[in-house]
Each structure stands twice: as C-alpha cells, then as structure tokens.
Structure 1
Amino acid sequence: MHPFSTSSRLCSIPVLIAAITLTLVLHYLLPLTPTDRISFIALLWSSVVAVLTYFSTRPLAVLLLDYSCYCPDADHRCNLELCEYFGMRSRRYSPESADFMRAIYRKSGLGDETYAPPYIFQPDLDSKLPPAIVEADDGMCSAVAALLSKTSVAPEMISTLIVACSMFSPVPSLASRIVNRFQFRSDVKSFNLSGMGCSTGALGMDLATRILRRSPGYALLVVTEATGLNWYFGDNRHMLVTNCIFRVGTAAALLTSNPACRDSAKYELLKSLRTHHGSEDTAYNAAMQADDGKGGIGVALTKDLVRVAGASLRSHISNLAPRVLPVSELARYAWRVVRSVVKGERKAAAAHVPDFTTAFEHMCIHAGGKAVIDAVGRIMGFDDWVIEPARMCLHRFGNTSSSLVFYELGYFEATGRIRRGDRVWILAFGTGFKACSVVCRALRDVRMAPDNPWKDSVHRYPLKLRV
C-alpha cells in the first residue's frame, strides 16, 4: 500500500524551524539597537513567509507508477487468412474491395499476431453493440485489475479516473462502468473522453499530470477502443483502410503525486505539450467518421493524412524544441537555418530540424501506420534504431489507437533499453488534427514486467521488415 502519510509540502517545516532558531540567535547575540532588531526580525519573518508560500504552492512531482496492457487470448489473433475468411463469410464486400484490402494488409506493416475484436468471431454480424461492450469490458477490466494488483493500490485510493475511447460512448459511460466494477469512492473525479483519436494515451497523461501537480493523489488512466463497433462494410477505400490497420488494444496507467512512491515508480513526468491544428480544413478532415453516401458509416483516412501529420509535426516540434533541447543544440540549429537563408536556400532552411537525440535517449513515436512512421523518421532524421520500436509495435499489435504508446513503451522495457536517468519522448497524433508530447525520465533501470505485453514474443524481435 502507498498511503499518504505526509504531503510533500511538509518539507517546509525544517525551513521554519531553522528560521526561528536563527531569529532567536540573532535576537540575543547581535549587538543591535531595539529598532534595528525589530526591523531585522520583521525582514527575516517576511522571508520565512515567502519561503513557506513557495513550498506550499509549487507544483508537485508527478510519477508514472506503472501500467498494464491487455492481450486477448491467442485464439483471437488476426492474420490475413482470418480477415479473408471474415470477408467471405460476411458476403458484403465486392471483389474489388476485397482485393484492395488484401493489398493494403500486405503492405501495412502488420504481422499475424495482432488481435481481432470479438465482433469478428460472432455469427450475427448485424449485432454490434453487445460485442462492443464485451470488447470494452474485457480490455478495461483486465488491464485495471492487473495494474491495481501489481501496484498494491486499492480502488478507494484513486482520486481521479480518466477513461478514453474515441468511437464508443455508451450510457452509462465507460468511466461509470469502471467505477461500478471496482467500487471507486463517491468523490472520485471522473473524466470520459471520446473522439480524440490515437493521441488520447499521451493526452490522458497530460490531463492527469495537470490535475496531480496541484492536488496530491492517484490518477488512473484507462485507454481503449471498440474496433468491432466501427468495422466498415462498403466500397469507400478511405474507410476500408481502417479495417486493415486498427486492432484490439487497451492499457491502464497509474500516476501519482505521492512522494512516498518515488522509490517504486518507473518514471517521472517532466513536461508535456499539446498542439491542435484543426483550424486548417485539410488537417480537420484528414481522419473523420462519415457516411459513405450509401448508408455505410466508417472512419475515412484521406490521402492528406501523412502530409498533415508531417506539417503538424513540424509545427509541434517548433514549440517543443525550446523547452527540451540543450542550448548548444538550439544554437547549432539556428546557425544551420541562418546559413541556409544567407545562401538563398529557403527550402533547405525550412527542412532543417533540431537533433532531438541530444535531448532524449529514447523516442516512443506514434505507431499509427507504416506511412506515418516513415514520415516521422524522415522529417526528424531518425535512424532505424530510433524508429525500430514503432515498427515492431505496429507489426506485433497493429494500430491500437489511444493505447499504442503503452504497447510501444513495453517494447523499450522488454528489450532492456531503459536505464536510470534516461529521458523518453512520447509522441502521438490524433484526429482533429492533434499532436501531443509527453517527456518523462526513468527513475530506475526498467526491466520487463511479468505482465509485459511482449513477454511471449520479444525473443523474435526485432524483425527485418520491408520498408
């Protein structure tokens, strides 16, 4: 158990005691006139009040205590053969659409061990709500139960609950289902997020951090997706792509501002940044749920998506760089830009990006699709070693939407990359179009946990994939 025995603000008590002691010493030993003594003591006490005010209002350190990722049973694994069988059984795809999905799947970067939703395995394909509830409950309850068990944190200790699922918003909410299932206390602050896309894992950590920095407690973040509910039947190719790359995944993370947990926590969250590019129509429409004009509802990933992701990334890192990069790298970057401008090479100047490897040892970049990973790697100038975790995560689990950052973080831990003091940059994109970064630092050497999602497959990775 990790009860709150004291607040971090109590560290100001020794400061107060020392100030009182010093005041008494000065009062009896210094050869000051009574007026000078009064003035000095007043000044000293004003300083003490200022120090106490600082310690009582400064932001608390926020720790990522641990996290758990859900892995369905092996008989729910999804390969090309299963997808083709499902397509033939449904009898709802034209030969042209089937051929298109087959081609997309083969070059998607997904392997044969991703997980399909329960919806695919049921006989009645017209019934979508019951399997969606099963998918959400299985993922959320399994991940939360595993997390609370291994951290020894009881549900009544949770002060904030954040649940996110972009495409499934039942009544009562998913947050209420978690409260009911685990019997959280009545004053828990619950947030139910929807429509935020793949960025919600990083966005949820940012939200939890902002709450915990001012209010000591524990925050539980649960991120999931109901892929079966949004399976698309039709001939719109932008919508058919989602059938090929999105797969089942759920993660639960526990964050805290309890200083007593520092020795057992994995990471400290240092900085976060969210940028929203939805004011531009192309960015807003890059990924959107819509009607295909024939009564079919699906999520369309347009051809502009990769270009929008690249433009959003450039805008995002221009805001992030001054906050995280060392002064030496900022100076080198500025010199490269100025030199290109002087030479009249304005396109080259615009293409320059800082070297973020000077600020981070590890980059947990968005694994939403092969094209997006390629674009991020190309724009940032990352080598194969840096983008390997994203490629492997896409291959093993597919695009699990909001939870993908935790599956990828699991790869870093399973391969023994994370050492004490290492800085990790978590980057995710979402519909709208949004970019979100979370920067954290490892508090210890992080090894593969017994419930790590890679425990049964990491020995086969990394794979040599066709890029």
Structure 2
Amino acid sequence: MKPLTHIQLSIAALFSFTLLIHTLFSGTPFTHILHLFSSNLTLSLSCAWCVSISLLYYFSTRSPQVLLLDYACFKPDFDRMCTYEVADYFVRRSQRFNSVSIEFMRGIYLKSGLGDQTYAPPFIFQTDYEAKLESAVIEAKEGMFSAVDSLLLKTQIDPRQIDAVIVTCGSFSPLPSLSSLLVNRYKFKPDIKTVNLTGMGCSSGVVSIDLAAKLLRSNRLIRYALVVVTESISLNWYFGDDRSRLVTNCIFRVGCAAAIITNDPSRRRVAKMELVDSLRTHHGADDRAYRAAFQEEDEKGYPGVSLTKDLIQVAGLSLRVHITELAPRVLPLSQLALYAYSVFMSALSRGDSKPIVPDFTTAFEHFCIHTGGKAVIEQVGRVLRLKDDVTESARMCLHRFGNTSSSLVFYELAYFEAKGKVKKGDRMWMLAFGTGFKVCSLVWRSLRDSCNEADNPWNDCIHRYPLKAW
C-alpha cells in the first residue's frame, strides 16, 4: 500500500473537519452536544476520524529531527608543532622570499593572535622545502583518518551503517576524490551517497552540515551521514612576494574535524545536539565581495590566495545582511520589538538615527565565531556588539590552533566542552565566512551537559585558557 500524499491527507482532513462542523452547528443546541457525542455514533466516529487524519497528517509532514550524534577534531603529533622559531627557520632556509617579504611575514605573524602551539603540514619539516602532491595527500590522510577513527570509536557506529559521506576541502581536489579515499579506507557499502565540496573556503564546514541536514530531512532512507571537514595547506603555500598573498602563510594551519549527523529519533538520548536552524547567504553578486579572497597567480606566476584590503569591510557588510534574515528566526519577541521600533524611528528621522543591533546574547548561550584572524574576530564583535567574554572561544582557538579553515567551528565547540560550559538546553550559534563571499550559520540546541572526553584536542592545555593578554 502506497503512503498517502500530502494532498490526499489534506483533502481527507478537510472533509472530516467540514463534516464535524456541519454536525455540531446545524441547529443543535450546545447543551445537547455532549449528549450527541455519547449517543450519536456517526458524530463520534467523525470526531475520531478527524483527529486521526489530523495526527497522521502532522506526523507524516513533519520534518525529522537532525541530531549531531558526535564529532571529533584532529590533533597532529607534537613534532608537527609550528612555533615562531620553526616558521621563521623555514622561511629563511627555503630561500624563496626576499628580505622585505620575510620582515613582512614576521610582522604579520607576531600580531596575528597565533600562539606557539599551532600545527603545520609535513613539508614544512622536510629538507627540500618543496610542497608536492604527495605531501598534500599525506596531510589529508593524517587529518581525515585520525578524526574519523576517533569518531567511529566513540559512537560505536559500524562503517556499513553510514548512508552518506560529505567531504569538504576548500582548495585540494585530488583524483580519486577525498570521499573515495574514505570509502576505500573504511569499506563503506556500495550504495553509499558521496559528495565532495571544494572552493568554498572557511564556511564549507557549516555548509556541509547544512547539506547533510537537508539530505536527512528529504530522504528517510538515509539515517547516518558522515561529514568530514578539512583543508590542505601543502599545495597552497605561497612562495612569491605579493603581500596580499603572503598573509595566508602566516595564519592558516593544519586542522580537520569529522561529525556524524543522524535523523534516527532513537539516538536522541545519546546525541550531543539538535540542529534547530541553518542559514546561508551568498553575496557574490557584488564584485568586491566576490574578489575579497581570490586565488590566482601573481606577476611571476606563483599561485596564491589573495586576501584583499576589502575583506574585513566585506565581512562586516555581509554579516549585517545575514543577521537581518537570521534575527526573526532566533531572537525573542522583546528584542524583535525593540529592533522594529528602532527601524521605524530611523525611517521617521530620515536616517539621522540608525537601527539598533539586536542583542544576540538573548538568543544564544554560546557563540562559535569564525576564527579567520584577529581582525575578523574583532569586526564580528563590533558588528554584533559582543563583549570579549563572548568572543573568548574564537580568540583562544586562533591562539592555540590558528585558522584551521572549514573545521574551525568544531575546535571552538571542543573548547566549550573542555571548559564544561555546555549545559542541556543551551543554544549555540556557529558562524563562518567563506570565499565567494558567503556567510553561513548553524543554530544548535544542546541535548546534554558537556563532559570531558579523552580525544578533546584541548585536554593538554585547557588549564592555561583563557589567556589574560591576547
């Protein structure tokens, strides 16, 4: 028997409701209604039919819940730690940069907000100082295999239970794909759905979770989705002397995260969080936004990602547009009323007064803000009127791990859990920016209190954070 369609259920519910209304209000006195229910079999059956059809319609059309079963973050070995001394030694010994570029990178590094415990890819520690395809593949394997191994161990999920694999890596797309690499490693079932996302920058971790959620909600045959978010620095190290491209050498570091997302309601009791909402806004129609972070060759033919001087302003303007769409979904009515009043007064004053920025701390207990760099974090804080204690996780994550691109929001989530700050019922906002230019948000609700886990990447250093000076 085929399941009823939404139209069929709607017609049945409407017919039943009409029959009930006709029976109740066809001249029968109200005092006789209870008597009718007890003595009129037709009316009782009509009511039961109406309720049954309405409940059936509700449960058949309701989107399934999307749950974060668990996640894991990759923590490289100690010998991959990139201190200031290691970075400076590599730059000087490579003999690929002129003295002006070396001094420029030193200045950027020292004021970047990065500490001495971030991690670099394998080729940084090799003697030939040449990034090759093999180095990029090793970097990808180390991060992805470590994160997925840890995740499968924690969740006790058999790899053959996974129905979909989504891998995102902004600037590395080998053949076969990274998702095929995982299929080969973990022997996933033949009918598994695989997706590769590339070229989406630091927002792709949030984008991939949003995509997984849409798959789980639209196809009930997909129960478990594995999301792996990583980046490759090896083939994207810039060896020229253009300043806008040299910045990436100073702030991007190795990182990877894996998460299992499910729509299985029986897993709710062990899941960490429920996805409440998601939003993606794309601002690429504007040329400045489109070219704010752009990969191309310099005058000498060296490829690199240029971070233009417009990037910070573009991020701020795009964020303002983004939150105007997100605010009505998440803010309490009191904040929405204040915002609407400020907009009205701004219109009356013909722009002399500006609309207020809603207080998003009334909607969220925790913020995982894009860890793109010190200037980006400060710009987000200014736009959203956030105090330093709210941006703490982003600032400390930048110091400890650097800009890990698409996986950065998961390292921030790990920070909150290492601190024991996440409580059942808490709401969390993950916010990330991406090339193109994109602003992406995930809204979560915690299903249980955070607990200290053995694979948390902050375990060996959380006692030192937050830093007093940054």
Report the TM-score, using the length of structure 1 for normalisation. 0.90
Offset at residue 121 of structure 1 (A)? 1.4
What is the letter of the counterpart of residue 461 of structure 2? S
Aligned to 2:9: none
Instruction: Give the 4+ runs in structure 1 shifted more than 4 A.
Output: none
Instruction: Provide the C-alpha distance between the structure 2 equivalents of 1:315 and 1:260, rounded to a whole number of angstroms.
Output: 38
Instruction: Provide the C-alpha distance between the structure 1 equivalents of 2:341 and 2:47, rounded to a whole number of angstroms.
Output: 48
Instruction: Provide the C-alpha distance between the structure 1 equivalents of 2:466 and 2:48, rounded to a whole number of angstroms.
Output: 62
What is the letter of the counterpart of residue 416 of structure 2? F
1:360 pairs with one of 352, 358, 364:
364
Residue ranges of structure 1 left out of the alignment (5+ in a row): 1-18, 20-25
Aligned to 1:31: 39
Q: CA offsets, 1:346-378, max 9 Å, x none?
A: 3x415x211101111111111111000000001
Aligned to 2:26: none
1:314 aligns with 2:320: yes
Q: How does 1:399-410 map to 2 (within 5 A)?
A: 399-410=403-414
Aligned to 2:12: none
Offset at residue 455 of structure 1 (A)? 0.4
Aligned to 2:57: 53
Offset at residue 43 of structure 1 (A)? 6.2
The 8 Å contact of residues 412 and 418 in structure 1, kept in 2 or not, is answered as yes
Count residues with an aligned counterpart.
Answer: 435
Instruction: Provide the C-alpha distance between the structure 1 equivalents of 2:420 and 2:339, rounded to a whole number of angstroms.
Output: 32
Q: How does 1:172-191 map to 2 (within 5 A)?
A: 172-191=176-195
Instruction: Provide the C-alpha distance between the structure 2 equivalents of 1:259 and 1:446, rounded to a whole number of angstroms.
Output: 20
- SS of alignment partner, residue 385 of structure 1: coil
Offset at residue 45 of structure 1 (A)? 2.8
1:157 pairs with one of 161, 164, 182:
161
The 8 Å contact of residues 69 and 271 in structure 2, kept in 1 or not, is answered as yes
- SS of alignment partner, residue 253 of structure 1: strand
Aligned to 1:271: 277
Instruction: Provide the C-alpha distance between the structure 1 equivalents of 2:454 and 2:158, rounded to a whole number of angstroms.
Output: 20
- SS of alignment partner, residue 75 of structure 1: helix
Deviates more, 1:208-217 or 1:108-117: 208-217
The 8 Å contact of residues 66 and 213 in structure 2, kept in 1 or not, is answered as yes
The 8 Å contact of residues 69 and 251 in structure 1, kept in 2 or not, is answered as yes
Instruction: Provide the C-alpha distance between the structure 2 equivalents of 1:302 and 1:151, rounded to a whole number of angstroms.
Output: 42
2:461 pairs with one of 457, 461, 465:
457
The 8 Å contact of residues 410 and 448 in structure 1, kept in 2 or not, is answered as no
Aligned to 1:78: 82
Instruction: Provide the C-alpha distance between the structure 1 equivalents of 2:131 and 2:263, rounded to a whole number of angstroms.
Output: 43
1:280 aligns with 2:286: yes
- SS of alignment partner, residue 441 of structure 1: strand
Instruction: Provide the C-alpha distance between the structure 2 equivalents of 1:239 and 1:224, rounded to a whole number of angstroms.
Output: 21
1:419 aligns with 2:427: no
Offset at residue 414 of structure 1 (A)? 0.8
Deviates more, 1:225-234 or 1:335-344: 335-344
Offset at residue 342 of structure 1 (A)? 3.8
1:296 aligns with 2:315: no
The 8 Å contact of residues 295 and 305 in structure 2, kept in 1 or not, is answered as yes
Q: How does 1:151-230 map to 2 (within 5 A)?
A: 151-216=155-220, 217-230=223-236
1:335 pairs with one of 326, 335, 341:
341
The 8 Å contact of residues 239 and 298 in structure 1, kept in 2 or not, is answered as yes
The 8 Å contact of residues 147 and 257 in structure 2, kept in 1 or not, is answered as yes
Aligned to 1:349: 354
1:383 pairs with one of 381, 387, 405:
387
Instruction: Provide the C-alpha distance between the structure 2 equivalents of 1:412 and 1:374, rounded to a whole number of angstroms.
Output: 20
Q: CA offsets, 1:257-277, max 9 Å, x none?
A: 111111111111100000000
Offset at residue 464 of structure 1 (A)? 2.1
Instruction: Provide the C-alpha distance between the structure 2 equivalents of 1:355 and 1:202, rounded to a whole number of angstroms.
Output: 23
Offset at residue 46 of structure 1 (A)? 5.0
> What RMSD over aligned residues (CA atoms) do the two structures have, in Å?
1.8
What is the letter of the counterpart of residue 333 of structure 1? Y
Instruction: Provide the C-alpha distance between the structure 1 equivalents of 2:57 and 2:251, rounded to a whole number of angstroms.
Output: 52
Offset at residue 341 of structure 1 (A)? 4.4
Q: CA offsets, 1:255-306, max 9 Å, x none?
A: 1111111111111110000000000000000001101121100000000000
What is the letter of the counterpart of residue 279 of structure 1? A
Instruction: Provide the C-alpha distance between the structure 2 equivalents of 1:321 and 1:428, rounded to a whole number of angstroms.
Output: 16
What is the letter of the counterpart of residue 39 of structure 2? P
Residue ranges of structure 2 left out of the alignment (5+ in a row): 1-15, 17-33
Q: CA offsets, 1:406-440, max 9 Å, x none?
A: 00111111111111110001100000000110000
**Identity among equivalent pairs (%):** 58
Aligned to 2:440: 436
The 8 Å contact of residues 257 and 410 in structure 2, kept in 1 or not, is answered as yes
Report the TM-score, using the length of structure 2 for normalisation. 0.89
Q: CA offsets, 1:334-353, max 9 Å, x none?
A: 2233334444553x415x21
Instruction: Provide the C-alpha distance between the structure 2 equivalents of 1:384 and 1:127, rounded to a whole number of angstroms.
Output: 38
